Every structure is written in structure tokens, then in C-alpha cells.
Homo-oligomer: A and B are copies of this chain.
Amino acid sequence: MNAPTGRLGGELTLPYPYLLFLGGTTEASYAKTAFGLADWASDRCTGEWGIEGCSVSTGLPRLSPAEARAAGARAMVIGVANQGGVIDQAWIPALVEAMDAGLDIVSGLHAKLTSAPALVEAARRTGQRLIDIRTPPPAIPTGTGRKRTGQRVLTVGTDCALGKKYTALALHRALVARGVDADFRATGQTGIMIAGGGMPMDAVISDFEAGAAEMLSPDAAQDHWDVIEGQGSIFNPAYAPVSLGLLHGSQPDVFVVCHDPTRTAILGMENFMLPSVEEVIDLTIRLGRLTNPAIRCGGVSLNTFAFAPEKAEELMAFERERLRLPVADPVRGGAAFDALVENILA
């Protein structure tokens, strides 16, 4: 399908088709960039590649850099993230091989590609480019809290990496299909790669975090919807500042809570229990009403990937009854997802 496009970030144009690089990843949660690109911008992706030990797959063909180049690829995208967003030393030979094969390297990691001398040297030698997309625009103002025109829906979550971007993309697609004037507002590396623009919220300096979110979804027509990709979780001991700045600056009219029922602890922090959906709803309203007193929960996006269809339906029905809110899995779609979309627009 065609990738959605945002109105911001037009200056960023990436070379594609992409070869998706998975590193040595063994846990799908850490490869969300690759999965997101395969799902939402598959027409820009030629294949995937990994190093020894890699046990996840997006389903795209496994191609070496040379094979991908021969198939038309122009860049290898680092499709895997790790705690801290650093460049794993084990990736270096693969990245150099890709440049030798004629591919640029595109990265959304915190650590800049240009901070790795071996990559800089290979780029100089091969003439290929090192493209770091996680660089915020200059001159972001501090937040003002001023209420902007237009409608906004933000995806929030019980944790990182459980469907906030996917849910926002699916909601955007559903709104457009209903004839609603809507924009997908990307806030993370994958979303920005898919949309071709946005705001890398977790790379923004803290003092400007809310202001960056205000910039991302400017004043719009009263019936226009911005569908804003959430980041992190207000219950995550590492990333809550990102989530709070995005919440305050987005001043959403509606939010959707994204949740993975199989997850019991915060990703990578076994001592932190996952908050309940109710806790997330309650605290999001409490914090969000600072900049939008009318904030409300539009429903729950349940990641039922791990369940068979009947079990997933059962789980969603149970949650729907318990929370008295629309509950849907955007991957499964159907009437449940329609009900969620309708409740957002209500």
C-alpha cells in the first residue's frame, strides 16, 4: 500500500527502496522499525538482512547487500533498536559491507552513524551516505499550552513497543477511508521513515519537549484530525518525560490506550509491573487535562498477536465489558475496530 504522508518534514527525503537491517536481534519488540516499514511502506522495501544470531523476520526476502543492490535497493535501513539506541559494534562489518555494495545507510538511532569512525571511513572510501534521521529541526520553541484549532487523537500505552505507532497508522488509514481530512503525525524513527516527516520526540532536549509536540500538530481546520503517534509510557521509569511532553504538547481531544495482554512487566525492567489499562486511562486524563480539559479515552487497542482468533475475540469482549469502552485490535480490524474509530469521532 502507499505510505501515508505528513505535511511536516518535507525537507527530509530518504533514498529507497530499502534493505531492512535486523542486526542480531532475537526479540521482535526490538525490531519494530523493520516491522513497521515492512507493514506500512512495503512498496519501499526490497528485503531484509541480519547478522549471525538474528532469529526474527519481517517476512520479506532475505537478501545480502549485493543481492539487494542488484534488486534496486538504494539504502540499508537500521531496522532494529536497543536500549539506549547505540550502534552495536557487531553491526559494523555488515554496515561496511552494505556501503561496499553501493547502499547508503539510514539510521534512526540516538547514536549518530557519523560517531563511528569505521563507518565514516567506509563512507569516505565508497562515497555512500550516512543518514541520521533522528535530528530534531532547529529552533524548537518552549511550549505555551495555547489551545490550537482542529481535532487530535494520540495513542498512548501501558509500555513501549506494543502497538502505538501501528494503531495510529491504522486509525489514520480508517479516518481517510471515511473521508475525514486527517494527517498521521510521526514521532519516532520508523514513523518518520514511513511518513517522510515528523518530530523525533525522544531526541528533543527536555526543555523543548512539549514545544516540539506543539509544533508537530499545528492549528488546523476545525474538522481536521491529527492522528499522533505516541511514545513510551508515563509509567516507564526511563521514558516517561518523552510521553508527558508529547501528551501536554499534543493536547489530545481523544486518546487510545495500546496494550499487550501478554506483557506483565515493563520491557527490559523485570522489577516494574506493567500498569493496568485503567491506571493508564486515569493518569493520562489527570495529566492531559492540563492542556485540554476535555480530554477523553476513545477506547483500547489490544495487541492480540499471540492469540488465536477465537481467543482474541473472547479477550476483547471481556475487556470491552470490563472497561465499558470500545476495544479492538487494529491488525484484526472488523466491526470492533470500526466501533473504536466511531467512538473517536463521536
Contact = CB atoms under 8 A, between A and B. Distances in A.
Contacts of A145: 237-238, 269, 271-272
A111 to B, nearest CB: 10
Interface string A259-300: 000000000010110000000000100110011000000000
A127 interface: no
A331 interface: no
Contacts of A131: none
B248 A144 contact: no
A305 B287 CA distance: 31
Interface in A199-214: 201-207, 209-211
Interface in A83-102: 83-85
Interface residues of A, number: 39
A45 B313 CA distance: 70
A212 to B, nearest CB: 9
Contacts of A241: 206, 209-210, 241-242, 244-245, 248
A234 B204 CA distance: 18
A141 interface: yes
Given A84-B142, A235-B290, A238-B145, A205 B204 contact: yes
A211 B238 contact: yes
Nearest to A211: B238
A143 interface: yes
A108 to B, nearest CB: 12
Contacts of A238: 142-145, 207, 210-211
A239 interface: yes
A201 B207 CA distance: 8
Contacts of A237: 143-145, 210, 248, 290-291
Given A110-B207, A204-B205, A286-B283, A240 B235 contact: no
Nearest to A210: B238
Contacts of A201: 206
Nearest to A251: B237
A241 B248 CA distance: 9
Interface in A131-161: 141-146
Nearest 9 interchain pairs by C-beta: A145-B237, A143-B238, A241-B245, A202-B207, A241-B241, A209-B241, A142-B238, A206-B242, A206-B209
Given A201-B206, A210-B239, 19 more contacts: A83-B142, A84-B142, A142-B238, A144-B237, A144-B238, A145-B237, A145-B238, A203-B206, A205-B205, A206-B209, A207-B242, A210-B238, A210-B240, A210-B241, A211-B238, A235-B290, A237-B290, A237-B291, A241-B244
